[in-house]
């Protein structure tokens, strides 16, 4: 068995860019423009950067829900590897014993390993196992010893679980079964080109037809569409029809203990406030790497957008409605506990989940707003979404001008 006893990298927050950041930092890779480890902001920007997507879903047997995208989700990991010419070694097998042996071999070579595991099968996520639900994501393993697996997965601390639990989570989905990846150092001669390509991809995701899906679901058009759906009363996907008062509106705002609501999509991503601050940090680095100081003007605008997203998140669960304020507090506490304690926070988070469910039950049975109040509430949300749109349109136009 093997464990990297010197491993201490837990800063990365996102399951893709954060994982890569942690591995490269552990392996001593330095960014040429700072002499320090590559930041997650830099990797996020290279992988396609900030974006926006708005989707509503409803599946038989499950409550309706919203999904917001705040960064590029079109193969960002492979995009990052390609743009930085980042060497990696990948081994994969369908054989259970070989899958475990490959992971141990990677660790014994002295490198942290990326593996793919089902989030619903990892107990610290507190997601109920469901034959119809799965979510395979990469995570970092830095130890596999004495029946324990030592993981890094979004939290700012080690996550230690039984090795057989990780093994079962790795085995759940055939396409990613028992894949193991290790990384070497990127080609820093490609850094400037990688940064430039990342910026242009972000611009494209805001302004061009999306790689797939409807235009109204992506970019600046999606922000306008979302604002329209908040106030429209005729469209079948409008909030008044798709998320009417009661359980459905609650799901749109706060979600439940399995599915995030809009509040959590905005406030509890890797960079907080729709990751706009993280992207602004990237743009500040890009200004140095590309010797284009004007990029910092776009960074200022994305920080202004971050503030607007923050106001939107607060507006979704306003403090003047006690149940909404309590729900918001619980969601924030859960996030803080996981980031600080990881798997050790499970009991505390379960208690918070029970309180959250109690609030949800009461609110959905007796919604704390009248129909008129809900209409006014959603009009104000639409205004704030359009305020975000206005700022981000300026930011993207600034980037277009500078990069052209």
The arithmetic mean of pLDDT across residues 297-305, rounded, is 98
319 and 289 fall within a common domain? yes
Other CB atoms within 10 Å distance of the CB of residue 206: 24
Specify the pLDDT at position 131. 82
Tens of pLDDT, residue by residue over 7-47, are: 999 999 999 999 999 999 999 999 999 999 999 999 999 99
Binned at pLDDT 50, 70 and 90, residue 69 comes out as very high
323 and 382 fall within a common domain? yes
170 and 202 fall within a common domain? no
The arithmetic mean of pLDDT across residues 167-184, rounded, is 92
136 and 281 fall within a common domain? no
Q: In this structure, is residue 76 part of a structural domain?
A: no
Name the average pLDDT for the chain: 96
Q: In this structure, is residue 328 part of a structural domain?
A: yes
Q: In this structure, is residue 78 part of a structural domain?
A: no
Q: In this structure, is residue 69 part of a structural domain?
A: no
Q: In this structure, is residue 166 part of a structural domain?
A: yes
Distance of CA 129 to the CA centre of its chain: 21
State the residue range of the domain holding 206: 188-403
Specify the pLDDT at position 170. 97
**How far is Cα 403 from Cα 208, in angstroms, rounded to an integer?**
16
179 and 213 fall within a common domain? no
178 and 195 fall within a common domain? no
Taking 70 as the threshold, does the pLDDT of residue 324 lie above it? yes
Specify the pLDDT at position 104. 97
pTM of the model: 0.96
156 and 289 fall within a common domain? no
Number of domains in the chain: 2
Tens of pLDDT, residue by residue over 259-281, are: 999 999 999 865 578 999 999 99
Of the candidates 371, 263, 244, which has an alpha carbon nearest to the alpha carbon of residue 316? 263
The arithmetic mean of pLDDT across residues 85-91, rounded, is 97
Specify the pLDDT at position 129. 86
Binned at pLDDT 50, 70 and 90, residue 70 comes out as very high
Give the end of a domain, one of 168, 183, 198.
183
Q: In this structure, is residue 221 part of a structural domain?
A: yes
Of the candidates 121, 343, 344, 377, which has an alpha carbon nearest to the alpha carbon of residue 253? 377
**How far is Cα 237 from Cα 90, in angstroms, rounded to an integer?**
42
Tens of pLDDT, residue by residue over 144-162, are: 999 999 999 999 999 999 9
Binned at pLDDT 50, 70 and 90, residue 212 comes out as confident
CA distances from 192 to 3, 17, 46, 198 (A): 35, 18, 10, 10
Specify the pLDDT at position 271. 53
Give the end of a domain, one of 183, 202, 221.
183
359 and 232 fall within a common domain? yes
Give the end of a domain, one of 183, 200, 222.
183
231 and 302 fall within a common domain? yes
101 and 238 fall within a common domain? no
Taking 90 as the threshold, does the pLDDT of residue 90 lie above it? yes
């Amino acid at each position: 068995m093997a464990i990297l006893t010197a491993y201490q990298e837990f800063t990365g927050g996102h399951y893709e860019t954060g994982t890569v950041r942690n591995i490269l930092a552990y392996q001593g890779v330095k960014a040429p423009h700072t002499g320090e480890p590559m930041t997650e902001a830099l990797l996020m920007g290279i992988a396609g950067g900030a974006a926006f997507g708005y989707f509503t879903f409803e599946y038989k047997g499950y409550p309706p829900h919203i999904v917001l995208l705040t960064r590029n989700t079109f193969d960002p990991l492979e995009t990052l590897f390609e743009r930085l010419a980042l060497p990696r070694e990948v081994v994969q097998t369908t054989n259970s014993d070989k899958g475990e042996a490959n992971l141990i071999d990677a660790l014994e070579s002295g490198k942290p390993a990326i593996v793919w595991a089902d989030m619903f099968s990892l107990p610290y996520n507190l997601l109920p196992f469901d034959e119809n639900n799965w979510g395979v994501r990469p995570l970092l393993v830095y130890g596999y010893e004495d029946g324990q697996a030592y993981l890094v997965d979004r939290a700012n601390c080690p996550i230690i679980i039984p090795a057989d639990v990780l093994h079962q989570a790795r085995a759940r989905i055939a396409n990613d079964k028992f894949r193991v990846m290790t990384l070497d150092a990127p080609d820093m001669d490609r850094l400037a080109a990688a940064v430039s390509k990342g910026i242009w991809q972000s611009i494209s995701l805001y302004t061009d037809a999306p790689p797939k899906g409807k235009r109204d679901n992506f970019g600046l058009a999606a922000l306008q569409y979302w604002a329209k759906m908040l106030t429209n009363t005729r469209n079948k996907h409008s909030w008044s029809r798709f998320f009417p008062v009661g359980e459905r509106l609650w799901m749109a705002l706060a979600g439940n203990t399995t599915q995030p609501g809009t509040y959590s999509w905005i406030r509890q991503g890797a960079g907080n406030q729709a990751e706009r601050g993280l992207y602004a940090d990237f743009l500040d680095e890009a200004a140095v790497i590309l010797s284009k100081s004007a990029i910092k003007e776009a960074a200022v605008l994305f920080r202004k957008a971050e503030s607007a997203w923050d106001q939107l998140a607060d507006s979704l669960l306003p403090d003047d409605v006690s149940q909404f304020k309590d729900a918001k507090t619980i969601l924030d506490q859960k996030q803080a506990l996981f980031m600080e304690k990881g798997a050790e926070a499970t009991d505390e988070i379960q208690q918070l989940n029970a309180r959250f469910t109690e609030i949800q039950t009461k609110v959905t049975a007796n919604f704390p707003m009248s129909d008129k109040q809900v209409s006014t509430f959603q009009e104000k949300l639409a205004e704030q979404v359009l305020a975000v749109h206005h700022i981000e349109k300026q930011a993207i136009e600034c980037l277009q001008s500078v990069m052209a």
